Amino acid sequence: MEKIIVYEKPTCTTCKKTVALLEEKGVEFDKINYYIEPLTKSKIEELLALTGIPAKDLLRSRAKEYKEFDLKNGVKSDSEIIDLMVQYPDLVQRPIVVKGKKAVLARPIEKINELFE
């Protein structure tokens, strides 16, 4: 079976629910707290490629930096958004679950099921 990795913030309620769902499925996985092991620009680019979503869709709109940098207006490029995510991890929506060459932003958590189809 392909290795599963959950990129998370352990105190996040949705991350906790995601971990519980994977445990309920009896799936082995690794967790990466990206506040302790920061995401690099290349890692975020890789995760975006695996999810197939643009950088703006990985933004966490409840982060204070989202408003601070006026990210709602959509004028920043993917590269600029990713640079901000590297500098401000709160901007990264979570959890991101990777299985092999596919990944999902587990919001809602049931999106994880797409990895097992």
What's the CATH code of the domain at 49? 3.40.30.10
- The predicted structure's pLDDT at residue 1: 64
- The predicted structure's pLDDT at residue 73: 87
Q: In what order do the strands lie in the sheet with 4-8?
A: 30-33, 4-8, 96-99, 102-105
Positions of the chain with pLDDT lower than 70, given as ranges: 1
Tally of structural domains, the chain: 1
Angle at 80 between CA 44 and CA 47, to 5 degrees: 15
- The predicted structure's pLDDT at residue 31: 97
pTM for this predicted structure: 0.94
- The predicted structure's pLDDT at residue 116: 87
- The predicted structure's pLDDT at residue 108: 94
Domain housing 81: 4-116
- The predicted structure's pLDDT at residue 85: 98
